[in-house]
Amino acid sequence: MEYEFKQDITGDALATCPSEYELFGVWLTDEVNQLNPQLLEISRAINSLIEKQIKSKEFKHQNYILRMNQYEVELVYGEIAEDLDRVENPSEEDDFTLSYPNLINDTESSSMTGCGLSDFSKLIQEWIEFIS
């Protein structure tokens, strides 16, 4: 996966990725643009997945859900993230009847993206170095 990091005129960090991975760049820029505990926890989780200490890990951000397993990473944005969470974790009061496969098929590609764990690991490590 190719990507580029730069700073805007105010000094804020910006990440850009090719169109099929564009959501990763937006997520880095908007949600994890500072070295904070959650970004460091994501980095530790990646290492635990690579070392096969854990099988999967999920992080919920304000507008995103990041899911990782030992092989791949999935990032889901916006209402689709809320819908996926409702499908996978239904409550008794929830009248939500959409099935997971239909939800995925009806989603615009800009609302979801994914890549291999090794590519994501490299992206996160280089992002941490850039914003540090």
Distance CA 107, CA 80 (A): 7
Cα 83 to chain centroid distance, Å, stands at 16
pLDDT digits (tens, 9 = 90+) for 46-82: 999 999 999 999 999 888 999 999 999 999 997 654 5
Mean pLDDT of the chain: 83
How far, in Å, CA of 99 to CA of 39, rounded? Answer: 31
The string of DSSP letters for 35-74 reads --HHHHHHHHHHHHHHTTS-SEEEEE-SSEEEEEESSEEE
The top-scoring range by mean pLDDT among 72-81, 108-117, 123-132 is: 123-132
Is residue 101 scored above 60 in pLDDT?
Answer: no
- Mean local confidence (pLDDT), 77-97: 53
Does the pLDDT at position 89 exceed 60? no
Is residue 4 helix, strand or coil? strand
- Which token pair is 16? 């850009």
For residues 62 and 9, the model is more confident at 9
Sign, CA dihedral 102-108-109-111, equals: negative
Helix ranges (DSSP H) in 61-116: 78-88, 100-105
What is the mean predicted confidence (pLDDT) over 32-50?
Answer: 93
By the 8 A CB rule, do 70 and 57 touch?
A: no
- Tell me if the pTM is above 0.85: no
Quick one: average pLDDT of 14-25?
95
DSSP 96: -
Beta strands 112-116 and 4-7, pairing class = unpaired
